């Protein structure tokens, strides 16, 4: 029978519930179990697709086209799995389903209520992968005590009551350090656990996020006041890399504790090679300087998967990346780009900051600096080439100038006449065919690829020949029509892609585009 682990969070948000859950999942994988993860977010948005990145960070896209929380990227990279629409849930999507059912008359005249109708729908989604995985880890977003997350916690309580032997509850909480008193304080965690117990869930394990080690007295105090065994009070110290956390938890017997409480036996001895491979990264002394030029640089989570992809690629090349975030609206943008071995322009929406991105691309092209453009970054490289190489004055995207004489980027035909903004873009995995004798082919080593997309605009095929003559060549197409990859020859590394390769990076397998980009930056660095 499948086993279930619930992850909740207390005291403050952004504690790393997703990283804690993924780390536990990794340990259980190393023990031989088949593990999956599901995320439940309490906000009313149906998905985060319409949110500003400053509100929610990066929007991660699943293979089947779901716009989701960035934690799903963490799940995929840690566990080397492919998530789907069933891995991401929000209060908005659940309420929408229940209301649609009510409108169809599916409740036989019942008064539709949070209990049982909303909680039943949540429990149904808990079981989305029943009998497909040995263990399903369910992360409930938000903070205990928030009114928004109450239906999810209630559903978890009911689920645990109905499946007592197969459910484990883990609470991630914050232990603040009062510098003036030189003291760690457990009171916030006590209140958080008491609030959880009021709802009817007693955590089996508490993971304490802290900047300082927990001494024996602190562990005993948390154990006593939170009614958990002392060995089940685990510390999650701040770490220089999130990939060190599985080993940190393993050293505290987290995997053994979980297996004991779920009454399951390991399928094999833990493979320490994974830990050793991660530790090796610490020994790399060579560094490479990469600049990310975007407009959401004040919130690093807006580029979470890109940053992790750069780190993974660098690790496989035995170097440390020095990543700097440069605002594309900075008046001193070009000056700040001096000294970088690689320039990456990521995706985004809207005109703000686009002029700076185009300037950064011109700088990379003219100074032979390795360049990688992603989604809007690719579109900006097309605009830059059209204006400066093909001499198409004021060439633009119809997103920014609907009346441009040279619409080198235009609205996708299927996007016209769409009423809703949410979940209506070109989303999910699409196949492309790569031309041989191209940089893309040398990186992928295949002519057919499938990558994840998230956009409404596309390079206008009408300008392919004009731009080719000017020096920008399309080297991959979707269905032989829509341009997917552009390159500039006689350059160390200049490539723009319409899709999001960062979503395909894995700890054990860096994405070929990122590996090629970092490798070219290393050559530039010499």
Q: Does domain 3-278 have CATH number 3.40.50.720?
A: no
Q: Of 208, 226, 232, 375, which is the active-site residue? A: 375
Tally Cβ neighbours within 10 Å of residue 166.
18
Same fold, 3-278 and 284-525: yes
Among 72, 29, 22, 28, smallest CA distance to 47 is for: 72
- Domain edges within the chain: 3-278, 284-525
Instruction: Report the CATH number of the 284-525 domain.
Output: 3.40.50.880
Whether the CB-CB separation of 246 and 27 falls below 8 Å is answered with: yes
Q: What is the pTM of this model?
A: 0.94
On whether the CB atoms of residues 296 and 54 are closer than 8 A, the answer is yes
* Partner residues linked to 109 by β-bridges: none
Concerning whether 502 is annotated as a catalytic residue, the answer is yes
Phi, psi values for residue 265, rounded to 5°:
-105, 145
Helix (H) or strand (E) holding 488, with range, is strand 482-488
Instruction: From the candidates 247, 451, 487, 502, give the one annotated as an active-site residue.
Output: 502
Active site residue 500: yes
Catalytic residue list contains 380: no
Interior angle at CA 16, CA 373 and CA 61, nearest 5? 35
pLDDT (tens place) for every residue of the chain, 526 residues total: 699 999 999 998 888 899 999 999 999 999 999 999 999 999 999 988 888 887 878 999 999 999 999 999 999 999 999 999 999 999 999 999 999 999 999 999 999 999 999 999 999 999 999 889 999 999 999 999 999 999 999 999 999 999 989 999 999 999 999 988 889 999 999 999 999 999 999 999 999 999 999 999 999 999 999 999 999 999 999 888 899 999 999 999 999 999 999 999 999 998 888 898 888 888 888 999 999 999 998 888 899 999 999 999 999 999 999 999 999 999 999 999 999 999 999 998 889 999 999 999 999 999 999 999 999 999 999 999 999 999 999 999 999 999 999 999 998 777 677 766 666 788 999 999 999 999 999 999 999 999 999 998 999 999 999 999 999 999 999 999 999 999 999 999 999 999 999 999 999 899 999 999 999 999 887 6
Tokens of 125: 């989604």
């Amino acid at each position: 029978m499948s086993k279930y682990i619930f992850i909740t969070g207390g005291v403050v948000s952004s504690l790393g519930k997703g990283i804690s859950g993924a780390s536990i999942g990794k340990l259980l994988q190393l023990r031989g179990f088949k593990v999956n993860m599901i995320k439940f977010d309490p906000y009313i948005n149906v998905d985060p697709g319409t949110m500003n990145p400053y509100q929610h960070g990066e929007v991660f896209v699943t293979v089947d086209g779901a716009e989701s929380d960035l934690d799903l990227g963490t799940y995929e990279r840690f566990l080397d799995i492919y998530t789907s629409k069933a891995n991401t849930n929000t209060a908005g999507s659940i309420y929408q389903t229940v209301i649609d059912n009510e409108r169809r008359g599916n409740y036989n005249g019942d008064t539709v209520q949070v209990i049982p109708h909303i909680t039943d729908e949540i429990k149904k989604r808990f079981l989305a992968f029943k009998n497909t995985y040995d263990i399903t880890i369910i992360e409930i977003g938000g903070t205990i005590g928030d009114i928004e997350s109450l239906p999810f916690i209630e559903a978890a309580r009911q689920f645990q009551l109905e499946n007592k032997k197969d459910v484990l509850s883990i609470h991630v909480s914050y232990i603040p350090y009062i510098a003036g008193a030189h003291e760690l304080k457990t009171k916030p965690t006590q209140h958080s656990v008491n609030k959880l117990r009021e709802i009817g869930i007693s955590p089996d394990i508490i993971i304490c996020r802290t900047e300082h080690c927990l001494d024996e007295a602190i562990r005993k105090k948390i154990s006593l006041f939170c009614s958990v065994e002392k060995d089940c009070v685990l510390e999650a110290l701040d770490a220089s890399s999130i990939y060190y956390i599985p080993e940190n938890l393993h050293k505290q017997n987290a995997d053994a504790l979980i297996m004991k409480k779920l009454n399951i036996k390991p399928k094999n001895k833990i493979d320490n090679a994974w830990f050793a491979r991660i530790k090796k990264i610490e020994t790399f002394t060579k560094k490479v300087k990469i600049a990310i030029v975007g407009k959401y640089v004040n919130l690093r989570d807006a580029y979470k998967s890109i940053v992790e992809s750069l780190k993974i690629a660098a690790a496989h090349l035995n170097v440390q990346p020095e990543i700097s975030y440069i605002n594309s609206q900075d008046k001193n943008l070009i000056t700040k780009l001096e000294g970088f071995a690689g320039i990456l322009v990521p995706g985004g929406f809207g005109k703000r900051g686009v002029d700076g991105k185009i300037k950064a691309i011109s700088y990379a092209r003219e100074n032979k600096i390795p360049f990688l453009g992603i989604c809007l970054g690719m579109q900006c490289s097309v605009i830059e080439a059209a204006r400066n190489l093909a001499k198409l004055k004021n060439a633009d995207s119809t997103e920014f100038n609907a009346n441009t004489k040279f619409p080198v980027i235009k609205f996708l035909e299927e996007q016209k006449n769409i009423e809703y903004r949410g979940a209506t873009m070109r989303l999910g995995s699409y196949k492309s065919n790569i031309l041989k004798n191209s940089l893309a082919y040398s990186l992928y080593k295949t002519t057919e690829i499938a990558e994840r997309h998230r956009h409404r605009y596309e390079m206008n095929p009408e300008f392919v020949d004009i731009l080719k003559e000017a020096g920008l060549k399309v080297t991959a197409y979707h269905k032989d029509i829509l341009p997917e990859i552009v390159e500039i020859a006689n350059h160390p590394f200049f490539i723009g892609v319409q899709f999001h390769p960062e979503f395909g990076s894995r700890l054990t397998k860096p994405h070929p585009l990122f590996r090629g980009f970092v490798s070219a930056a290393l050559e530039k660095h010499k």
